[in-house]
Amino acid sequence: MSDAAPTIAPIAERLLGGPLPVRLRAWDGSEAGPPDAPRVLLTSPRAVRRLLWQPGELGLAEAYISGDLDVEGDLTDGLRAVRHALRERSGTATPPRATLATRARAAARAARLGVIGPPPRAAGHHHAFPSEFYERLLDPSMAYSCAYWTSHDPSYGLADAQRDKLEVICRKLALVPGARLLDIGCGWGALALYAADRHKAQVTAVTSVPEERDFVRERVDELGLGQFVEVVLSDHRDLDGGMYEAVACVETGERVGHDQYPYLARTLHGMLRPGGRALVQQMSRAPGTPGGAFIETYVAPGLHTRPLGETIGLLEAAGLEVRSSESLREHYVRTVGAWREALETQWDAFRLLAGEHTARRWRLHLAGGALAFEERRMGVDQILAVRPTARGVSGMPDTPADWYPAPALEAV
């Protein structure tokens, strides 16, 4: 008799606090739930056991990553539909916390299916990946940060948007030939290489990851930019010197712990000469919006996000004068969409390179990230600041239209 789904449906409804927002199809072929809702496939009894041991977002995520649970069609569409149903029901998109009594009743029903047992093994967590992984996921510049989309033309793609993002940063920093740029957290070198190649800036690229250092040095040699780019393996706390015309920190600040961020802000200030500019591109979260277990574990693992206003306050407390802030939230939705397309079109290659569980984790990471930015639970902003002189002179032109000069050299 195929009755797993009808037996599981009341369990799920108790844990979710209301009617099922999805259609369930269990491992025995049985189905339950609204027929026109997104279809969730329970491929193994372990999916139920995971939810009994870990009700809520994390249990669902582990079940998906392990392959015990799957979603037909687009994963983001499925997540969006579930969150919408929960929000319509209770005013929040987060499932209610299951009480001990609710979990006991759910366990009693699960016992009828013979799925009671020890907690299944976790599916693992994020870890560092070789450059080949990012070469497949990202555009040729290897920019692993929000792009800047200036067109909706079908021929305009991720590589164009990343190039435009790098150009916007260089213009906001007013880079001219010979200007000294400190790139803190340079990643795979997209900004450092672009600023040196297109604007002839003298760049110090800083990373704390040996593989990134080696990769960027190889690219510097390949492009013949050795006279323009120095790659340094260092933590930002160990930097000394200063007197740079420009400092960039592109989606690195959110990786600094809350207690350490004031030190990073002071480093940005201290490395600039008076009148020098700092560009901080950084993820944020909406005021009053907690990160949540799902976002903190699977969408932004290891990130320390805060509302934009708090970051601006920390930069100002360090002595910087914030001159502008530009939201790129919608740009990140498109950026993540392009990364998701790369992942899906090369799915078999990613599975071979990283393993099935890791590939599924990235699919969930990107789908959840797209939804978080779409729903304004997360954002990303470009903050332009300056270190004023001792007399309070910023050196900035009077109007924003003159802040970002055209490049002194033609792009080549």
How big is the CA angle at 387 (ends 386 and 391), to the nearest 5 degrees? 120
- 96 confidence band (pLDDT: 50, 70, 90): low
Q: Which two tokens stand for residue 112?
A: 């009828």
Q: Is 325 helix (H, G, I), strand (E, B) or coil?
A: strand
Place 410 in a pLDDT band, splitting at 50, 70 and 90: very low
pLDDT score of 88 more than 70: no
Which of these, 272, 366, 251, 363, lies nearest to 321 by C-alpha position?
Answer: 272
Residue 1 pLDDT: 46
Determine the average pLDDT of the residues in 224-232: 97
3-state SS class at 233: strand
Torsions phi, psi of 33, nearest 5? 105, 170
In eight-state DSSP terms, residue 97 is P
Question: What per-residue confidence (pLDDT) applies to 291?
Answer: 62
What per-residue confidence (pLDDT) applies to 313?
98
Q: What is the DSSP letter of 238?
A: G
Lowest-pLDDT range, 67-81, 167-181, 388-402? Answer: 388-402
Neighbours of 390 (CB within 10 A): 6
Q: For residue 11, is pLDDT > 80? A: no
203 phi/psi in degrees, rounded to 5: -110, 130
pLDDT score of 103: 66
For residue 392, pLDDT over 80 is answered with yes
The mean-pLDDT minimum among 70-79, 95-104, 109-118 falls in 95-104
Domains (range + CATH), the chain:
4-113 (no CATH), 131-402 (3.40.50.150)
pLDDT winner (highest mean) among 44-48, 225-229, 258-262: 225-229
Average pLDDT over residues 163-169: 97
Residue 209: both structure tokens together: 């990851």
User: Hey, which residues does 322 pair with through a beta bridge?
Assistant: 385
pLDDT in tens, 315-341: 999 999 999 999 999 999 999 999 999
CB atoms within 10 A of CB 241: 10
Q: pLDDT tens-digit profile of 277-327?
A: 999 999 999 887 766 677 777 777 778 899 999 999 999 999 999 999 999
- Quick one: how far is CA 161 from the chain centroid? 17
Considering only residues 403 and 376, tell me which one the structure prediction assigns the higher pLDDT. Answer: 376
Q: Are strands 180-184 and 244-250 parallel, antiparallel or unpaired?
A: parallel
